[in-house]
Every structure is written in C-alpha cells, then in structure tokens.
C-alpha cells in the first residue's frame, strides 16, 4: 500500500499539524510504502520571503526527522527537487474543469484571510493532484480541511483515466476522526494562517504564554461545564492519559474544573510529550549539510518513481512523437 502526504513549510509546525497529519504519516513507516514530502512550491502561494521559505523548508525537514521519521524506511524529499511534478500539473490542468476549481472553498477562505488572489493559489489543488498521482498513491492521510482537495485529485484522475485510458490509481483520503480538527487558542481550527497555534517545539516561557492564552468561558470553577464544547479540554485530550482524562472529564461534569490549573497541567504535558524530539531537532538544525544530504537522497529516490509515471502519461496524451 502506497501512502503519501505533504506538508507546507509556510510557518512553524503546530500541534494541529502533528495530531492531524504528521503523527499518522510517521506511524505508517513500518507497514507501508510511505512517501512524505515538504511542499515548498505550494508554500510559494503564500510566502514571498526567500529566507523564510528556505529556512522553513529545512526546519520542517528537521521537525519530521526529530519526531521519528526514518528516511531509510520511506521516501522523504522536498517537492521542488522533483520538477516532474510541474509538468504533470500542467498536463492535468488542461483537463481540469473550471467549475471544479471554482467550488474549492480553500481558495476563497485564503483570499478572505488576506492572501493575494494569485493564479497559483487558485490552481493549488491541481498541483496537489499532481503530487499524489505522480507517485500512484493509494491513500493520503490529511486533516479534514484537505478533504475537498482530495476529491479534486480523485476527479482529475478519473477524468484522465476515462479520456486517455487507465493510468492513475484513484487515491483514497485517510482522515482521522478522533483528531480530525485540532482547535487553536481561540477555538477556531488551529492554523498557521490564523495566528492561533501552539508550535510543536515551543518551550519555556513562550509555551506557557500560549497555553495560558487558550480561550475559555467565564463559568465559575464550582459550576458544571460541558467538556466536549471546551477548547481547553479538546487540547488536553490529546496529551493526557486515559485515566487522567476521565478524572478531568468528571470534574467538568460535576463542577470543580479550574481552567488555570488544567492549563498548568497541560503545559507540563506538552513540554514532556515533545522533550525528546526537541533535543533531536536542535541536533539536526545544527547540521544543515546533513539535512540537505538526506533530502537530496530522498529526491533521487522520488524522481525515479516520478519518471516512470510521467513517461506513461506523456505517451498516453501524445507528447511522445
């Protein structure tokens, strides 16, 4: 089974990215043919700062490796190091219906948030379809917000197959229901572009500042509260042991849950959860040559696979004369 997913290096990765996507990706290392890549070409739709993109790419690589991704047990690379993806994106775009693209809410959401309405931002899902189809992925683990993009990739693959003959595997989305959407400090979806994140590798005072800033309601401590509609509880749930979670749930329901104390407990839980990875990340970042070596080796591996699909596609559409 080929499992593939990518992540944008457009800002510090946060616990929503970790629980919504990265953790599942890493867990597939042992049981599948895993493809993980850093989508710098996609990030270019929102980041126009050379330094920020280049450093963000290396940081995202260090994040994955520190969190346990083993490059020898998967194919791990940076999207732009495999230029074949751009050729496939163009070919796919020639059969992507405009209506399909116009229905994508991610474009409208991003423009509403102030990202420039560029053509790249609009055609983002076609490049994403190319990412997936180029490697003939069977399953794509992503957060719920990417579901529509997956449907676009499937539609494009089906259209290609009916137009030019069976060529692409139709990819299945794999969306974890338990951690489908991790809320941010303000209760909206945690997202780099909403400025409401808890970055994975934050520690000390800056981490404390974030955790204490998780928005809660003004219900007095002794009153009963609904844990399932509480933003703090949703984040707590990701880190606490099942036993502790049950205790805190009962405090919510029966009265006695003090938000301030729960936040301090959460702070320690987050700190401990990522302690080992934090150390490893620092080691990787101290050796950027090593990081580049790992990524280039991964790109060579990915290019070999990409070349096989692209060769078939070129033949199918008549680009081989």
Residues near ligand TRP (CB under 6 A) are 4-6, 8, 39, 42, 128, 131-132, 140, 142, 146, 149
Q: Which is nearer to ligand TRP, 150 or 269 (CB)?
A: 150
Is residue 204 left, alpha or beta, with left meaning phi > 0 and alpha meaning psi from -120 to 50?
A: left
What, of ligand TRP, ligand ADP, none, does residue 17 touch, CB below 5 to 8 Å by kind? ligand ADP
**∠ Cα 46 49 50 (to 5°):** 120
Q: How far is the CB of 196 from ligand ADP (least distance, A)?
A: 9
The reply to whether 110 belongs to the active site is: yes
What, of ligand ADP, ligand TRP, none, does residue 39 touch, CB below 5 to 8 Å by kind? ligand TRP
User: Cα–Cα distances in Å, from 285 out to 26, 58, 77, 273, 292?
Assistant: 20, 8, 16, 20, 11
Alpha helices in the chain (DSSP H): 15-17, 23-27, 40-43, 50-66, 84-93, 98-102, 105-112, 119-134, 147-164, 204-212, 231-239, 242-254, 259-273, 275-285, 288-317
Does 238 engage in binding with ligand ADP (CB under 6 A)? no
Total site size for ligand ADP, rule CB under 6 A: 18
Q: How far is the CB of 144 from ligand ADP (least distance, A)?
A: 7
Q: How far is the CB of 31 from ligand ADP (least distance, A)?
A: 20
The reply to whether 23 belongs to the active site is: no
**∠ Cα 133 136 139 (to 5°):** 95
**91 - beta bridge partners?**
none
Q: How far is the CB of 261 from ligand ADP (least distance, A)?
A: 25
The answer to whether the CB of 37 falls within 8 A of the CB of 76 is: yes
The reply to whether 189 belongs to the active site is: yes
- Using alpha carbons only, how large is the chain's radius of gyration in Å? 21
**75 - beta bridge partners?**
35
Does 305 engage in binding with ligand ADP (CB under 6 A)? no
Q: How far is the CB of 53 from ligand TRP (least distance, A)?
A: 15
Does 145 engage in binding with ligand ADP (CB under 6 A)? yes
Catalogue the active-site residues: 110, 189, 192
Interface with ligand ADP (CB under 6 A): 7-8, 10, 16-17, 20-21, 142-143, 145-146, 181-182, 189-193
């Amino acid at each position: 089974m080929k499992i593939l997913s990518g992540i944008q290096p457009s800002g510090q990765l946060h616990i929503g990215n970790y629980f919504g996507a990265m953790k599942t990706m890493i867990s597939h290392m042992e049981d599948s043919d895993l493809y993980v890549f850093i989508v710098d070409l996609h990030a270019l739709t929102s980041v126009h700062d050379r330094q920020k993109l280049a450093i963000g790419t290396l940081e995202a690589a260090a994040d994955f490796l520190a969190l346990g991704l083993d490059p020898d047990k998967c194919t791990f690379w940076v999207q732009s190091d495999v230029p074949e993806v751009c050729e496939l994106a163009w070919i796919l775009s020639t059969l992507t219906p405009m209506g399909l693209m116009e229905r994508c809410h991610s474009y409208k959401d991003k423009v509403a948030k102030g990202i420039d309405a560029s053509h790249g931002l609009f055609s983002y899902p076609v490049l994403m379809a190319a990412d997936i189809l180029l490697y003939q992925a069977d399953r794509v683990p992503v957060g719920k917000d990417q579901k529509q993009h997956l449907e676009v990739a499937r539609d494009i693959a089906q259209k290609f197959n009916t137009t030019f003959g069976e060529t692409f595997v139709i990819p299945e989305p794999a969306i974890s229901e338990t951690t489908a959407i991790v809320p941010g400090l303000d209760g909206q979806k945690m997202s780099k572009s909403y400025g409401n994140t808890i970055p994975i590798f934050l520690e000390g005072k800056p981490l404390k500042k974030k955790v204490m800033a998780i928005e809660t309601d003004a219900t007095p401590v002794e009153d009963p509260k609904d844990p399932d509609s509480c933003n703090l509880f949703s984040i707590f749930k990701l880190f606490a042991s099942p036993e502790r979670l049950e205790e805190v749930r009962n405090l919510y329901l029966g009265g006695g849950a003090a938000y301030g104390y729960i936040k301090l407990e959460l702070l320690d839980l987050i700190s401990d959860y990522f302690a080992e990875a934090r150390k490893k990340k620092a080691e990787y970042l101290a050796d950027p040559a090593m990081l580049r070596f790992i990524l280039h080796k991964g790109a060579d591996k990915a290019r070999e696979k990409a070349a096989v699909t692209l060769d078939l596609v070129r033949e199918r559409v008549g680009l081989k004369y």
